[in-house]
Structure 1
Amino acid sequence: FQRDGSVLDILKADYTFLNEDLARHYGIPDVKGADWRRVDGVKTSSRGGILGQATTLAKQSGASRTSPILRGNWVAEVLLGEKLPRPPKDVPRLPEDEATETLTVRQLTEKHSTDPKCYGCHRRIDPYGYALEGFDAIGRRRERDLGGRPIDTRAQVMDGSKLDGLDGLRDYLLTKRRDAFLKQFCRKLLGYSLGRGVLLSDRPLISEMRVQLESHDYHISAAIETIVRSRQFREIRGNEMASEE
């Protein structure tokens, strides 16, 4: 926001902010000391953007194992704005201890998702989570799980697109799902700016925000200026000031 960067950097930024401890966690060399600093060229270490952050990956995991379901659901709902029904109450939980299972987390998830009650949603979200299986439960890169089994990050999403790993997921979101991502970003930014939920009557403004972003190389200022100039923003602020007086 401060440097008026591209909205798309949320997904594709080739930099992150690190100190020595976090750099060690990320597997990025030559970062010394406790001070935080910007580090460029982190895509070579499978980092960069919100999908490569350990906070994102760890929060959408189990206590001691990864969760393709939670990670995939987060991508679908938070990044793409999809509305998914809540899971049935009687769905059994997957085992928590990855190391002692004979199947990988992915294999357990695939077995679980064959249930007809679950398949409809899981086919929408699980492929996103499978692509992020190259990170463990606390967001460290890995090639094998806790049981020593190799990790498979290949996936096929509902539209038939095939992707592999973080890079494949990032590219898919930036190309084939860019419109959905931008719409969700505009919806969230508008709701935050207005201090309320987005209404049906806000749709024209959201569409205008997207148009302005696309015509200004996706710089965040284009969306912010569109909001500030809007009737919704000006009238809400005016009413609030009048009530305070």
Structure 2
Amino acid sequence: MLKNIFAAAATLALLSAPQAGFAQDEASSEDAAATPQAPRTYDKLNFDAAEDRDNIWVLDLSNGERVMIRLMPNWAPNHVERIKTLTRQGFYDGIIFHRVIDGFMAQSGDPTGTGQGGSELPDLKEEFNPMPHLRGTVSMARAASEDSANSQFFIVFYPRFSLDKRYTNFGRVISNMGGVDAIVRGEPPANPTRIVQASIASDDKPVPVVRQTAPRPTDISAEMLSAPISE
């Protein structure tokens, strides 16, 4: 079943992650009273890619760009842990950006490339927070249920404050937002940009070799025009 992360009336809808698992049950009021939760803190974003490298998500894209994202466990600890777990499993390697809307966002994280797939791990309980959806924000896609985020995520091209406290904001691009801007647009794109390799900076994975696509037979170059005609 096709799912959108916005209401049907919204013109800029994101395809969301499916119900790949059961959302966690909410704690009862008695349990909540018995175990009070410590207030969550919201530290300032650290743009220094040399610091706290265990919380830097590195995306090597098929457009040849390496993008670095600061993960913020103080904002959304369970979502950050999910990203790290799937990344270290190699889950995101080879996955395309299947929905990319110019002036809005680029969405990925679905192994089927349809917007309906996810991981085999259970869905996550929401961790909505007051951090705004600014340019470069990385947030989790979900279905109609607030507790249905799984593996799909999106990167915001321009501020979208209507998403605040409705989708879990778990980080922001701190290096090479231009590489995100270069992601091919489309729903889905005809020739989608893919994640060649996702890694955590502290794992020190080298930049992968990106194979260049050979020219199509219909492409005509200056060399072809000047080449002698053969029978």
Q: Same fold (TM over 0.5)?
A: no
Q: Greater helix share, 1 or 2?
A: 1
Q: Greater strand share, 1 or 2?
A: 2
Greater RCO (Cα-Cα under 8 Å, separation 6 or more): 2
TM-score, length basis structure 1: 0.25
TM-score, length basis structure 2: 0.26
